[in-house]
Structure 1
């Protein structure tokens, strides 16, 4: 035999006593990890019929024997509580009565998303003292919690929320979402205009009808003087989809806007005249 190793053959008189070997119990094959998410995975392997398996897993490079153990199971085996974008090793051995096969190793990496923040901001009608904006983050992907910074020193939570501003300005609103795959943030500029009595002449007199509609809307409002008027229709991302101007309104605007070619959905009508602005939500059927 070879002395100094655990694989030596030992001879006593005329008898040879071989070292223990797991070769009599076949090892599992075809180890794989499937259905991998940011926090879970299904471990699969192939064993001989009727065999149960021992499973151990941990962070890549861990010492076998120190990982998380799941004993006497069959394939597939679901594991949870993992960390996103992280490498893991796992080992599987089969049992054969009182015997155990050699351990077989495989590795996998958890997913890193998707997690994407998205939101819309829809201003209401301004009053003499404030303006309320409706925020909606339901288009976000992979989120379980939502945190808002409204840009004026106030914060909020929830997938949808309203916030009331008390001063005209452009505010940087930040949404932070958190989910199984981590955290993601998105910032947008929200334009708040029309607060105070002088600016509010348009919003106080603004009429848009019919609303909802599949065709034209009639837009009427008063202006402070014979200022030029600019009307734009924006989608909820803030992109202009229609825009036109009218000169010398002589204190009143009364005209039709054709939205028949727009896709169905919610839009924002933005009116500008001189230093004044007003907003109105419209629905295209």
Structure 2
């Protein structure tokens, strides 16, 4: 046997389906008792919550002419949330939500000048992903000034761009940037979508021919492994030599005191992979960087 439980104003507040079991004193559904023809909305659901959106739907009583949806962080006090007006038995898309956050939503009907009570709160949680992904890389395309091509290889993003250690900012996945100062540098790839922002940093060393040690030379260059660094200076001073990859990894390093005159230092990279490296020479009077090509 099936039956409907109907309120005093004609609203069906509960239904028992024919063939379903029913025992004495069994509670087979719950409802909010009404003292007004404007019944409390039922069947409130929040579906398909994404990172910043969710869809709310409900059923209104037969007397309803419209509805008000109110939502806010889980546990919010009615009257302090965000309200949205909608048609009776409607559907509302909530936007501008915070990823990975729980919200409560309640619904009230309007019936020709009167309002119903608020529905029981329904809780939903927005998604926290997927976030964009990045796999940045770069290629040196020219020297003096050092000009580098950067590619973020972003996926799942709405926007992507770059921020550089020299203060420059560029939008786009693939960009080109020139650097006019020697030394360690970096580039930050940033991608964003509705779920959030991710960033990844690549590090490298900028090597420009400068005027601080004009006599600096490397020979032989290219080299099969062994080469000599030579320069002249006027005063006795401490000298630091560094050989680094284009990404800034130190391959060899040496510090020593050098008398005035010609300075020579020999390095052996015979066990180092072939490629282009930067030789940095730092003295109290200046700093210079040269490229050395290691061939096999």
- What is the TM-score normalised by the length of structure 2? 0.52
CA separation of 1:185 and 1:226: change in aligned 2, threshold 3 A: closer
Deviation digits for residues 125-168 of structure 1, max 9, x if unmatched? 333x233212233514334353413x4x3331212321123467
Pick aligned residue for 1:157 from 166, 170, 179? 170
Q: 1:125 and 1:139 mapped to 2: Cα distance?
A: 21
Aligned 8 A contact 2:73 2:103 in 1? yes
Whether the aligned pair in 2 keeps the contact of 1:121 and 1:190 (CA below 8 Å) is no
Decide whether aligned partners of structure 1 residues 90 and 101 sit closer, same or farther in structure 2, where only a CA change above 3 A counts.
Answer: same
In the alignment, the residues of structure 1 paired with residue 294 and residue 190 of structure 2 have an alpha-carbon distance, to the nearest angstrom, of 29
Question: Aligned with 2:199: secondary structure?
Answer: strand
Query: What is the CA–CA distance in structure 2 between the aligned matches of 1:71 and 1:141, rounded to whole Å?
Result: 33
Distance 2:38 2:194 in 1: 40
Which residue of structure 2 aligns with residue 109 of structure 1? Answer: 125
Corresponding pairs, count? 191
Unpaired runs of 5+ residues, structure 1, are 1-19, 198-222, 229-237, 239-269, 279-285
Q: 1:63 aligns with which of 44, 65, 77?
A: 77
Q: What does 1:164-175 correspond to in 2, within 5 Å?
A: 164-166=178-180, 171-175=185-189
2:95 paired with 1:80: yes
Aligned partner of residue 62 in structure 1, secondary structure: coil
Deviations 1:37-56 (A, max 9, x none): 33222111233468432211
The separation in 2 between residues aligned to 1:185 and 1:124, in whole angstroms, is 21
CA 1:66–1:272 in 2, change beyond 3 Å: closer, same or farther?
closer
Return the alpha-carbon distance in structure 2 between the equivalents of residues 124 and 136 of structure 1.
12
Residue in structure 2 matched with residue 38 of structure 1 by the alignment: 51
User: 1:90 maps to which residue?
Assistant: 105
Secondary structure of the corresponding residue to residue 203 of structure 2: strand
1:109-148 paired onto structure 2 within 5 Å: 109-127=125-143, 129-144=144-159, 146-148=161-163
What does residue range 180-259 of structure 1 map to in structure 2 within 5 Å? 180-190=194-204, 224=221, 227=224
Q: By how many angstroms is 1:72 displaced?
A: 4.2
Distance 1:65 1:168, change over 3 A: closer
Closer, same or farther: CA 67–43 of 1 in aligned 2, 3 Å: same
Matching residue within 34, 42, 55 for 1:29: 42
Deviation at 1:92, TM superposition (A): 0.7
The answer to whether the 8 A contact 2:86-2:92 is kept is: no
Task: Give me the TM-score of the superposition, normalised by structure 1.
Answer: 0.53
| RMSD (Å) for aligned C-alpha atoms | 3.7
Cα deviation, residue 90, structure 1: 1.3
Q: Distance in 1 between matches of 2:122 and 2:161?
A: 37
Aligned to 1:272: 275
Bigger-Rg structure (1/2): 2
Structure 1 residues 271 and 141, CA, compared in 2 at 3 Å: closer, same or farther? farther
